[in-house]
Every structure is written in C-alpha cells, then in structure tokens.
C-alpha cells in the first residue's frame, strides 16, 4: 500500500514526502556521474544554482533520485520526472520542444508552477498515480502553451511510480508523446473522405458540361462494378447491364492494347494502398476510334485495411492531350535550338577559360620573375663570396700561410648564413598554412625586410624607414605582415615607373570613442604601419574599389588585383583596419592599423657561445640516409669525430634494409626528399613499425610543413632544416638520443 494513500491534496499543492526520505544520499565515487550522456538537459542541471533548493546540491541527492534522473536523461523518448514532496520537475532533451517559454527556468522547479495552465487537469491524474494506480492515456486533449504558442494539443501519457531505496514512493516517471499530428491527420482523412463522397454527388451535376463521360462505382467485397447510363453509352454497353453490374474485363476490352497493362497495374496498386486514383489511357468509343480519357477515383478501406469501395468518374482529355502533344513538339524544337545555343556558348566559354588560365599562368610567371630576378643576383654574390673564400683557403694552405685561413673561413661561413637566412625567408613566404600570431616588434621586422625590399624595388627608388624606438608591440602573424609589407612596396614601385621615393613609417595612434567610430574600429591604442610613395596616385573612385578582389588598374598581365584584398583580409583578421589616402599626381599612403599588444615581443634568438659538442656514449649508432653524397659525408664525419658509429644509405630502400637488419640503431637521421619511390617520411614510418620507439631526425631543405605534409610530428621525431651548423646538428642528435 502506498505511503500516500488517503492523503488529501489541497488545491495547487502536491503530496509531501519526508525530507529525510528524499534527501538521504549515499556515497558515490563520482556524485555527478549520473549526468553522463544527458546532453543539454544535464548541462542545465550542472549550471543551475541549487543553493537554498529543497533538494540541495546534486552531489547530495539520494541514489534513487540520481538513478531516476540518469534514466530519463539517456532515454530517447520524451520523459519527465516529478520528485519529492513538491514534485520537483526534471526532463530530458527530447522534452525541450514541449516546454516552450518555460525551457530556460523549468529544470528543478515545482510541477504545479511549470505547468500552472494544466495543473487542474493533471492533479487528479497525479493523485491516482501516487495512490498506486499507474495510468496511461491515449490522445488526451490538452490546451497548453508550447513552443508553437497557446494551442489545442493531444497527448499520450503514461504515469508510473518511482520508489526509493526503502520501497517508499519518492516520485513519478511520466512518459509523454505528443500525438497532435496523428490526431489532426486522422481528422483530415475523415474530412477528405466526406469530401470525396460529396464530390461524387457533384460529379453527377457536372455531367451536362460534356467533359465528364460518366461515373462508376465498384463494390470491392462483392466485385460488383456498376456504371451510369452516360458511361455505358460512351462505350457501346447496355445501360441496363451497367446498372445491374458489369465485369471489369468488359470495360478493359475497350482499352487500347498498348495501355491495358499500365491500367491493370494502376488499379491493382490503388486497391492495395487505398486513397486517390488518377490514370490516363485510350479507349474505343462507339464510333470505333480511340480517345484519351482520364479516370479519377478513390479507394476506401475499412479500419482493418480491407478495400471497400472504388467510386470514380471518366473525363474526356482527348483535346487536352492534343494540346499537350503540340506543346511538346514546340518544346522539342525549342530545346534543339537551345542545345545548339548551349553548345556554342560552351565552346566560347571553354575558349575564354583557356585564355584566362593562360593569363593567370603568365601572371604567376611574371610574379616569380619579379622576385627571382633580384634573388639570382643575391645568390650569385653570396656564392661568389663562398667560392672565392674556398679558393683562397686552398691557395693559402698550399703556400703554408695558415694564419690567413681563419679570415676566409669566417667570410665563407658569413655568406652561408646570409644565404640560409634568405632561403628561410623565401620558404616562410611560400607557406600555405595560417601561422599563429606572435608578439611582434614591427621595427625589427621592417629592419629585417629592408634589404629584400631594396632589391625588389630596384635602385631607381629610394627607401626611407622611420619610427619611434619605443614602438608598441602587436600580436600578428609575422610572415603574413612581411608579405603585406612587401606587397605594398611592390605596388608603390609600380606606381613610380620613373623612380621615386618609398617611405616606411611606424607610429602610435590612440582612438577615443568618436575617432574609433569614424575609423569603424573599437576604441583603444593602435600601431600604425604606413607605406607612402611619390607615384601617380589614385582617383577617388579607384580608392573606393581598391580592396575589391581582382580589381586592378594595371594593364592585362601586370597585376592580379589580389594584393590589396589579401592585405585587407589579413589586417581585419588581426583585429585592425587599412586606410588609403591618395591624390592623383601626388602619391599614395596605405596605413595598416593594428591593435596594441600589452606584452613583450619575442626576442631574436641570442647566439649561444660556442662550446664543445657532446660526445657519444660507447656503441651508440646513427643511421644516415641522404641522396646527396656531400651532405652524407659531412654528417658521417661529424658523427664519427664525436665517437658515434655511423651507417650510411643513399636512398629509402637501402635505409629500410638496414632497419630490417639486427644492427643497433639509436637514431635515424634522414632527408625527407629521397629518390626511388620511398621518401624519408615513408621510410621512417616503416622503420618505426619494425622498431617501435625509433627516434627520427628529419633534415630537409624545404619548409617543415611542406616537407612533412599537414600531419603532426609524432613523439620521438624532430626536424632540422638545411643548411645547419655542425654544432646545432651535434646538439640535436645528443638531445634526441638522451630523451626518453
């Protein structure tokens, strides 16, 4: 017998359960584990402030409550739980749409507050459930305020009690399913059936219009097929026989032989499924000719699905079909013309696309030429310094003049470092991935770019750089800012075909609320990076379109129209803005405004003093795989000088054979780009499959991501880009071998 039997429920109150029975918690390893898998409903429970709530914090709830909530949260059905003396209301995510405006505050509230508009109807049902009479209601009408507004709704409910650990009633499970759609659909079906019967009556009145040939009624259980007089006379049948009943075969005999199979299939299908029927076919009339008609009807089924009746009408569609045939003929002719036109347009479009592709390729090659023209000069100078130093070293060694060798070594090393810095900068420009923004000293960045800019714009253009020594730091992607600066300088160069002056200036700008609105930016501190030229300038209408993608005023083949739009996008992604000031004949100034970063910039790496490279432990072995003999020889000699055992391989296949052997290998040092169909990454993956935990150092002349793809480096692997100094190689090898 329920503990709630005989309790009198005052109006708008709910049955009481002693707090000691409801809130007695038992220890759990994770007191909130019952919320797992509960989705947004579980998040609502976590997010609610339970301070002062009768149930207390979720961590203190009894096992029976937590178990019950866990059940409803993970149920695919729409479920609620009413718990405790005040019937506190819990629900799962499937129930969300039913709450309408109550959703944000209903979790954990009293049932009679959540469903105040339905409490009078719900209260006696809840009383019966607490008294031990579990109930189920099918298609129960209920007027509620849901997410669709205040409306008449229909529901199927089931109520069942929830017992606590001692067998006492602690709450109710309520499974809810809204059946409004099914109820309204059933109503519409009944209305449709009534309408169909009315249509049959109206058809009789419409016979005089001439389009309707006649009507039929097929009683399916008795297979009695009757037709009216107009139907019978149209097909040369005896009207009396039509009233008494014909066989369906007699009617089908009048159908054109080519249409009979389709007609029989359509009739069979509608008898099985029920509902509306419409089918066109040709029949032989009394004059012996075939005419098109359309049969319209409806098959009614009993509640158990048994076909009952099939009434319908025949409509003369011969004229309609003739019109349709003429329309189809005209459409076919038009389609033929259209297809020919499309072929001509397609051919012209293909030719245009080929021309555009050729133009894009030409523009690419022109851009490459602009950059490589100066770079070839730079590299030739650097190579001349290296080659000349080596030749002089050889001569002095042969002459025994060893004191002068160090000077030539230093000169060659300096030229090598400059060449390495230049190649690394080019690789940074070529990266396709978005690089992480870093605290950046823009003055230092500009200074590092100055030499490249001078060589790019040529000797006819003067470069002037200025800015405060205490320039603010900004949080940007340095390679992208370098790219933007170089693009602006190239644009400035192109605006001064006869030479001129480019000014690169940095500064500070603080915007109050009014100034920020004028600049369409948040108020605050900004760093300004401006590139000004003394070129031809731009008209106002050109300035307005300057940031549009593909817009350019340069002749065909001399610009893509993407430079400024890319700069604009980068600056906005960095939280800033771009401003253009220009006057025809006076020049142009483009200013990048970047938000100030309150933090120190990343310092350039400080060159550590040279120290002796660490030596190998006894027996440590390194496998070197590189198709370049010079690099392989260099790495091998360095390692052997440091006491390592070095094993060489010229390609991936040879390296893999060593890895498949029993030789001791403490570290694999491999180039990424190897010949023979197996690159360094593939060989390393195969080697790590054979030797789990194998440490791998990739050495490559490419940018890291270009060499290794988009995947992340696995633990135990690292990358060293060429060219590298011997000391850096030795230190990296030692650290990798020693790391766990």
Residue count of the chain: 740
Q: Within this chain, do residues 470 and 587 fall inside the same structural domain, yes or no?
A: yes
In total, how many domains does the chain have?
5
Domain boundary at 371, 392, 418, which? Answer: 418
What residues have CB less than 8 Å from 436, skipping those under 6 apart? 477
Q: At what angle do helices 442-457 and 318-399 cross, to 10 degrees?
A: 90
CATH code assigned at 522: 3.30.565.10
Is pLDDT of 338 > 90?
A: no
pLDDT at res. 144: 64
Say whether both 50 and 92 belong to one domain: yes
Question: Looking at the domain assignment, is residue 237 inside a domain?
Answer: yes
State the pLDDT confidence band at 23, using cuts at 50, 70 and 90. very low
Overall average pLDDT of the 76-87 stretch = 89
The whole-angstrom separation of Cα 89 and Cα 58 is 14
Average pLDDT, the chain: 80
Please indicate, yes or no, whether residues 522 and 641 belong to a single structural domain of this protein.
no
Structure-token pair, residue 184: 């309204």
**Residue 469 belongs to a domain:** yes
pLDDT at 430 over 70: no
pLDDT at position 625 over 90: yes
Query: Are the C-beta atoms of residues 149 and 102 closer than 8 Å to each other?
Result: no
pLDDT at 22 over 50: no
- Side-chain-side CA neighbours of 545 within 13 Å: the count stands at 9
- In this prediction, residues 67-72 reach a mean pLDDT of 91
Q: Does residue 1 lie within any of the structural domains?
A: no
- Domain co-membership, 41 together with 137: yes
Confidence at residue 200, expressed as pLDDT on a 0 to 100 scale = 56
Cα 544 to Cα 336: distance, rounded to the nearest angstrom? 46
Cβ–Cβ under 8 Å, residues 386 and 356 = no
What is the tens place of the pLDDT at every residue in 630-685? 888 888 988 999 999 999 999 999 999 999 999 999 999 999 888 888 999 999 99
The beta-strand segments (E) located in 444-586 are 461-466, 473-476, 500-511, 524-533, 577-583
Query: In 3-state terms, what secondary structure has residue 582?
Result: strand
Q: How many CA atoms lie within 13 A of 29 on its CB side?
A: 0
Confidence of residue 421 (pLDDT cuts 50, 70, 90): low
pLDDT tens for 282-319 read: 988 888 889 898 888 999 999 888 999 999 988 888 88
Contact in structure between 554 and 535 (CB atoms under 8 Å): no
Q: Is the dihedral of CA 21, 26, 32, 35 positive or negative?
A: negative
Tell me the mean pLDDT in the region 202-231. 75
Q: CA 345, CA 347: separation in Å to the nearest integer? A: 5
With bands split at pLDDT 50, 70 and 90, how would you rate the model's confidence at 437?
confident
pLDDT of residue 614: 79
* Res. 17 pLDDT band, cuts 50 70 90: very low
* Two structure tokens written together for 392: 């002089």
155, 141: one domain: yes
DSSP state letters, 301-349: E-TTS-EEEEEEEEEE-HHHHHHHHHHHHHHHHHHHHHHHHHHHHHHHH
CB atoms within 10 A of CB 703: 20
Tell me how far the alpha carbon of residue 397 is from its chain's centroid: 65
CB 37 within 8 A of CB 74: yes
Handedness of CA 703, 709, 712, 713 (dihedral sign): negative
Q: Both 349 and 482 in a single domain?
A: no
Question: Which of 178, 195, 223 finishes a domain?
Answer: 178
Buried b (16+ CB within 10 A) or exposed e, 125-162: bbbebbbeeeeeeeeeebebbbeeeeeebbbebbbebb
**pLDDT tens-digit series, residues 540-589:** 888 877 776 555 665 544 444 456 767 887 788 888 999 999 999 999 99
CA atoms of 91 and 655, how far apart (whole Å): 63
Decide the pairing of beta strands 169-178 and 717-721: unpaired
List pLDDT tens digits, range 94-107: 889 888 888 999 99
Three-point CA angle 202, 205, 210, nearest 5°: 115
- 328 and 240 both lie in a single domain: no
* Domain finish residue from 393, 418, 443: 418
> Which residue in 299, 296, 297 sits closest to 275, CA to CA?
299
**Exposed e or buried b per residue across 403-415, where buried means at least 16 C-beta atoms within 10 angstroms of its C-beta:** eeeeebeebbeeb
For residue 44, the tally of other CB atoms under 10 A from its CB is 21
Instruction: State the Cα–Cα distance between residues 78 and 493, nearest whole angstrom.
Output: 69
| φ, ψ (nearest 5 deg) of residue 272 | -75, -45
Provide the pLDDT for residue 2.
40
More confident residue, 373 or 419: 419
Query: pLDDT digits over 164-188, tens only?
Result: 878 888 888 888 888 888 888 787 7
Contact call for residues 697 and 709 (beta carbons, < 8 A): no
Query: Tell me, what CATH number does 29's domain have?
Result: 3.30.450.20
User: Could you write out the three-class secondary structure of 621-680?
Assistant: EEEEECCCHHHHHHHHHHHHHCCCEEEEECCHHHHHHHHHCCCCCCEEEEECCCCCCCCH
**600-610: buried (b, 16+ CB within 10 Å) or exposed (e) per residue?**
ebeeeeeeeee
> pLDDT (tens digit, 9 = 90+) per residue, 477-535?
887 888 889 889 988 998 898 899 999 999 999 999 888 888 888 999 999 999 999 99
Terminal Cα-to-Cα distance of the chain (whole angstroms): 68
The CATH number assigned to the domain holding 660 equals 3.40.50.2300
Residues 163 and 282 in one domain: no
Do residues 553 and 542 make contact, with C-beta atoms less than 8 angstroms apart? Answer: yes
Q: Is residue 713 part of a domain?
A: yes
Going by C-alpha positions, the residue among 567, 699, 541 that lies closest to residue 634 is 699
Mean pLDDT of 320-336: 78
Q: In sequence order, which residues have a C-beta less than 8 Å from that of residue 511 and are 6 or more positions away?
A: 519, 521, 523, 524, 525, 526
Q: Would 580 be classed as within a structural domain?
A: yes
Give the dihedral of Cα atoms 719, 725, 731, 733; nearest 10 deg.
50
pLDDT at 517: 85
DSSP bridge partners of 143: 152
The band of 142, judged by pLDDT with boundaries at 50, 70 and 90, is confident
In this structure, the answer to whether residues 441 and 356 fall within a common structural domain is: no
151 and 216 part of one domain: no
Place of tokens 């135990």: 716
Q: Could you read off the pLDDT of 104-122 as tens digits, one per residue?
A: 999 999 999 998 888 888 8
Are 266 and 250 in contact by the 8 Å Cβ rule? The answer is no
When pLDDT is cut at 50, 70 and 90, the band that residue 431 belongs to is: very low
Q: Are residue 541 and residue 646 in the same domain, yes or no?
A: no
> What pLDDT, on the 0 to 100 scale, is given for residue 712?
54
Q: Do 439 and 601 meet the contact criterion of CB atoms below 8 Å apart?
A: yes
Could you identify the residue written with the tokens 């030409």? 362
User: Do 25 and 171 have their domain in common?
Assistant: yes
Q: What is the mean pLDDT of residues 137-163?
A: 74
For residue 346, is it within any domain?
yes
Contact 673, 707 (CB under 8 A): yes
The CA distance from 580 to 472, in Å, is 22
Answer yes or no: is 616 within a domain: no
pLDDT band at 202 (very low <50, low <70, confident <90, very high): very low
Q: Which residue has the tokens 């409550």?
A: 65
CA distances from 396 to 386, 402, 403, 407, 415 (A): 15, 6, 9, 11, 20
Domain span including residue 96: 19-178
Alpha-carbon span 587 to 601, nearest angstrom: 33
Phi and psi at residue 401, to the nearest 5°? -90, 75
State the Cα–Cα distance between residues 432 and 103, nearest whole angstrom.
46
Q: Which pLDDT score is estimated for 462?
A: 94
Which tokens go with 500? 């001129």
Backbone angles phi, psi at 200, to 5 degrees: -60, -40
CB 107 within 8 A of CB 44: yes
Tell me whether residue 603 is in a domain. no
pLDDT tens, position by position, 341-396: 667 777 777 887 787 666 656 655 555 555 565 566 566 666 766 777 787 788 77
Judged against a pLDDT cut of 60, whether residue 201 lies above it is answered with no
Instruction: Say which residue, 264 or 705, is predicted with more confidence.
Output: 264
Q: Look at residues 569, 571, 531, 578 and name the one whose alpha carbon lies nearest to residue 549.
A: 569
Q: At what angle do helices 405-430 and 318-399 cross, to 10 degrees?
A: 170
């Amino acid at each position: 017998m329920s503990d709630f039997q005989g309790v009198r429920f005052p109006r708008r109150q709910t049955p009481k359960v002693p707090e000691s029975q409801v809130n007695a918690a038992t220890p759990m390893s994770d007191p909130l584990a019952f919320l797992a898998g509960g989705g947004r409903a579980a998040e609502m429970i976590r997010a609610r402030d339970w301070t002062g709530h009768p149930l207390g914090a979720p961590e203190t709830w009894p096992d029976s409550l937590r178990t019950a909530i866990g059940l409803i949260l993970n149920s695919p059905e729409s479920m609620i739980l009413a718990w405790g003396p005040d019937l506190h209301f819990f629900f799962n995510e499937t129930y969300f749409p039913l709450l309408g405006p109550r959703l944000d505050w209903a979790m954990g509230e009293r049932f009679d507050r959540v469903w105040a508009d339905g409490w009078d109807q719900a209260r006696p049902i809840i009383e019966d459930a607490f008294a031990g009479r579990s109930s189920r209601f099918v298609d129960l009408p209920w007027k509620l305020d849901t997410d669709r507004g205040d409306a008449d709704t229909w529901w199927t409910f089931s109520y069942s009690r929830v017992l606590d650990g001692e067998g006492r009633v602690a709450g109710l499970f309520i499974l809810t399913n809204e059946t409004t759609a099914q109820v309204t659909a059933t109503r519409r079906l009944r209305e449709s059936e009534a309408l169909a019967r009315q249509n049959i009556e109206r058809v009789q009145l419409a016979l005089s219009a001439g389009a309707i040939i006649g009507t039929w009624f097929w009683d399916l259980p008795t297979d009695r097929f009757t037709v009216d007089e107009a139907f019978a006379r149209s097909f040369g049948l005896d009207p009396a026989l039509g009233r008494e009943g014909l066989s369906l075969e007699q009617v089908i005999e009048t159908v054109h032989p080519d249409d009979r199979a389709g007609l029989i299939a359509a009739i069979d299908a509608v008898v099985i499924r029920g509902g509306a029927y419409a089918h066109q076919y040709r029949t032989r009339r009394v004059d012996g000719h075939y005419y098109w008609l359309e049969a319209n009807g409806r098959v009614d089924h009993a509640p158990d699905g048994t076909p009952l009746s099939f009434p319908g009408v025949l409509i003369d569609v011969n004229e309609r079909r003739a019109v349709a045939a003429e329309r189809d003929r005209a459409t076919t002719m038009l389609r033929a013309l259209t297809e020919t036109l499309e072929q001509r347009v397609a051919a012209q479009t293909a030719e245009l696309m080929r021309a555009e592709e050729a133009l894009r390729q030409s523009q690419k090659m022109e851009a490459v030429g602009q950059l490589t023209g100066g770079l070839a000069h730079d590299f030739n100078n650097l190579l001349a310094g290296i080659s000349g130093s080596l030749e002089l070293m050889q001569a002095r060694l042969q002459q025994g003049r060893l004191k002068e060798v160090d000077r030539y070594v230093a000169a060659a090393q300096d030229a090598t470092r400059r060449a390495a810095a230049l190649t690394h900068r080019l690789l940074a420009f070529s990266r396709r991935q978005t690089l992480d923004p870093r605290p950046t000293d823009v003055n230092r960045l500009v200074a590092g770019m100055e030499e490249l800019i001078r060589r790019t714009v040529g000797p006819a253009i003067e470069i002037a750089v200025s800015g405060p020594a205490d320039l603010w730091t900004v949080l940007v992607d340095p390679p992208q800012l370098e790219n933007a600066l170089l693009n602006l300088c190239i644009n400035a160069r192109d605006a001064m075909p006869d030479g001129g002056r480019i000014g690169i200036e940095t500064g500070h700008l603080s915007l109050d609320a009014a100034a920020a609105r004028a600049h369409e930016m948040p108020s605050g501190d900004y760093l300004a990076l401006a590139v000004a030229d003394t070129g031809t300038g731009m008209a106002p209408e050109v300035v307005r379109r300057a940031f549009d993608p593909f817009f350019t005023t340069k002749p065909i083949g001399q610009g893509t129209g993407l430079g400024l739009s890319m700069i604009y996008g980068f600056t906005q992604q960095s939280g800033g803005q771009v401003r253009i000031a220009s006057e025809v004949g006076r020049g142009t100034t483009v200013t990048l405004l970047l938000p100030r970063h309150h933090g120190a910039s990343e310092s350039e790496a400080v060159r550590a003093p040279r120290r002796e490279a660490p030596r190998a432990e006894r027996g440590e072995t390194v496998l070197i795989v590189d198709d370049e003999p010079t690099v392989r020889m260099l790495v091998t000699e360095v390692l052997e000088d440091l006491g390592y055992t070095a094993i060489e391989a010229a390609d991936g296949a040879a390296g893999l054979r060593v890895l498949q052997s029993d030789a001791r290998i403490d570290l694999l040092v491999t180039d990424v780009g190897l010949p023979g169909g197996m690159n360094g990454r593939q060989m390393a993956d195969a080697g790590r499959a054979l030797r789990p935990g194998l440490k791998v150092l990739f050495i490559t002349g490419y940018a890291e991501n270009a060499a290794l793809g988009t995947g992340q480096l696995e633990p135990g692997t690292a990358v060293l880009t060429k060219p590298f100094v011997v000391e850096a190689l030795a230190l990296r090898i030692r650290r990798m071998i020693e790391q766990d």
